[in-house]
Amino acid sequence: MPKSLDKLRQKGLIMELICKKCKEKVDHLNVCRCDNCWICDDCGTRENLLYYCEGVLCSACHQARVNKRIENFDGDTEYTINIICPRCGYEVNDSWEIKDDSGDYECDDCGNEFSYERIVTVEYTTHQ
């Protein structure tokens, strides 16, 4: 590690980077893992990798997981706190950031398009 980075870390100006998989301290991370742990969680390859909500996967293993979720998912959902893809079950954790109250949405995980509708409930409490 360069001495200048080490001095900044000692002063608390730079966070220590720790690999989420092996827990080793490293100089840089690929998303959240060191270079040694930047491999597909399913097959171990180092090719065509991306970080998904499920971990680090190659495109083939990710597609296999999506296909299995689509096969096992029941479909339409109602009254959930986030948008959930009715094809694969992927939950859009930042649904509140979507401006429109209804429309079409392309799933960030499986790529299928579906319709959504935001339902807003207003409640009041009063005190004397």
Contact call for residues 118 and 102 (beta carbons, < 8 A): yes
Helix (H, G, I), strand (E, B) or coil at 80: coil
Q: What local confidence, expressed as pLDDT, does residue 71 receive? A: 94
Cα–Cα distance for residue pair 53/65, rounded to 1 Å: 12
What pLDDT is stored for residue 111 in this prediction?
92
Residue 23 token pair:
């827990």
Q: How far apart are the first and last CA of the chain?
A: 63
Q: Residues 18, 23, 30, CA angle at the centre, nearest 5°?
A: 50
Q: Are 105 and 84 in contact (CB under 8 A)?
A: no
**Which parts of 11-48 fold into alpha helices (H)?**
none
Can you name the residues that pair with 30 across neighbouring β-strands? 33
Q: pLDDT at position 54, please? A: 81
Q: How many C-beta neighbours within 10 Å does residue 30 have? A: 14
Tens place of pLDDT per residue across the chain (128 aa): 456 656 666 666 666 788 888 988 877 766 788 888 889 999 999 999 988 878 899 999 999 999 999 999 988 899 999 999 999 999 999 999 999 999 999 999 899 999 999 999 999 999 99
